[in-house]
Each structure stands twice: as structure tokens, then as C-alpha cells.
């Protein structure tokens, strides 16, 4: 397993639409292990393969609190098959370090995907899990958190990112 570098906005590779995984094999399972290690080290609750420069339809999620047992899951070739209601959640993103903004998402979803064993599964999700799944699924389509917010929030995000990129916060 290896911790991989996470691409940060505005890296153009984050806009790539990911390709389907043709076969769940040992190479894909190693990639999932690397993604898990990278996500936990960051630390984050989710990570999509395009965020580490791999344009494949895979993401990993673990929304368990620090004092709870892991709830790790890998989603390969995911497809959201139902989305109901609306909720607003203050989201962060490993590709937008230090930035948190309210984003509207479906309140409840149902998703179909393959697991690391290549077997299809379905999950119904609400709350943080639903938000995380939708957020990571967006990454697979080249859609970023900044695309989901209004103009004022976009400017605020841009300002936070440019301040972060200045050495020692210099102006």
C-alpha cells in the first residue's frame, strides 16, 4: 500500500470524466488499498480515483467518527439509481484543502456499484453517507464542489485557496 499525492484545484485532471473499470482484479484491489491509505492519511471521509490522477470510476468512503469502528466501503463503477429530497451540508474536499462550503444534495439516495470482490451491491444512504457518495460520484464525472455553489461562495473559495497557496500567508 502507498499514500498517493492528492491533486488540488485547479489541476485540470480533476475535470476528467473517469472511465469504467473493465475488470476488478488484483491491480484494482491494490489501487483501492492505496486510495484507502491516502484517504485516512489526509484525513478525509472519501476519495475518488481521479483525485489521485487515476481516471477510473472508483471511490472509497468511511464516514465513521474517530471513536467508532471503520465503515470503509469501495464503490467501483457506481451508479446513483435514486435520489430523493434535498439537504444542505457543509462540505469539505481533499482537493480544496481548508475550504468548507454549504452544498445542496439529495437527502436520500440509492446507489449500485461493484465491490472489491467484483460482486454488485446496492446501498440506500442518508445524512453524511449520502452526501459523501454524491460528492465522490461527482468527482468521477469531472464535477467539483466549486461547481455546486453560488457566485459568492465561489469567490470565497477562490480567495481561501489563493491565500493558502501564498508562502507563509504573505500578501
Secondary structure in 3-state letters for the chain: CCCCCCCCCCCHHHHCCCECCCCCCHHHHHHHHHHHHHHHHCCCCEEEHHHHCCCECEEEECCCCCCCCCCCEEEEEEEEEEEECCEEEEEECCCCCCCEEEEEECCEEEEEEECCCCCEEEEEEEHHHHHHHHHHHHHHCCCCHHHHCCHHHHHHHHHHHHHHHCHHHCC
How would you classify residue 169: left for phi > 0, otherwise alpha for psi between -120 and 50, otherwise beta?
left
pTM to 2 decimal places: 0.93
CATH of the domain at 46: 3.90.45.10
Catalytic residue among 37, 91, 124, 136: 136
> Domain for residue 2, yes or no?
no
Whether residue 45 is contained in a domain is answered as yes
Q: What is the mean pLDDT of residues 71-81?
A: 97
Instruction: Name the band, by pLDDT with cuts 50, 70 and 90, for residue 167.
Output: low
In a domain, 3, yes or no: no
**Which pLDDT belongs to residue 164?**
74
- Residue 76 within any structural domain of the chain: yes
How many helices (H) and strands (E) are present in the chain, helices listed first? 3, 7
Looking at every residue in the chain, the average pLDDT score rounds to: 94
Q: What is the dihedral of CA 46, 158, 104, 128, to 10 degrees?
A: 20
What mean pLDDT comes out for the span 16-33? Answer: 98
Q: The domain containing residue 29 runs over which residues?
A: 12-169
Question: Does residue 27 carry a catalytic annotation?
Answer: no
* % of the chain residues with pLDDT over 70: 96
Q: How many domains does the structure of the chain reveal?
A: 1
Q: Is residue 49 part of a domain?
A: yes
5 within domain boundaries: no
Measured CA to CA, the distance from residue 100 to residue 89 in angstroms comes to 10
In a domain, 150, yes or no: yes
Indicate whether 171 pLDDT > 50. no
- Asked whether the predicted pLDDT for residue 130 surpasses 80, the reply is yes
Amino acid at each position: 500500500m502507498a499514500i498517493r499525492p492528492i491533486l488540488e484545484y485547479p489541476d485540470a485532471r480533476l475535470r476528467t470524466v473517469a472511465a469504467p473499470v473493465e475488470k476488478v482484479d488484483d491491480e484494482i484491489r491494490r489501487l483501492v488499498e492505496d486510495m484507502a491509505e491516502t484517504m485516512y492519511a489526509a484525513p478525509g471521509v472519501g476519495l475518488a480515483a481521479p483525485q489521485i490522477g487515476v481516471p477510473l470510476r472508483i471511490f472509497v468512503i468511511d464516514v465513521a467518527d474517530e471513536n467508532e469502528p471503520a465503515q470503509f466501503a469501495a464503490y467501483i463503477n457506481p451508479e446513483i439509481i435514486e435520489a430523493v429530497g434535498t439537504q444542505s451540508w457543509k462540505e469539505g474536499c481533499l482537493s480544496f484543502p481548508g475550504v468548507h462550503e454549504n452544498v445542496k444534495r439529495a437527502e436520500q439516495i440509492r446507489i449500485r456499484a461493484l465491490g472489491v470482490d467484483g460482486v454488485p451491491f446496492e446501498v440506500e444512504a442518508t445524512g453524511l453517507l449520502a452526501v459523501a457518495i454524491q460528492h465522490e460520484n461527482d468527482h468521477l464525472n469531472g464535477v467539483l464542489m466549486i461547481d455546486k455553489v453560488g457566485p459568492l461562495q465561489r469567490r470565497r473559495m477562490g480567495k481561501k485557496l489563493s491565500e493558502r497557496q501564498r508562502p507563509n500567508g504573505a500578501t
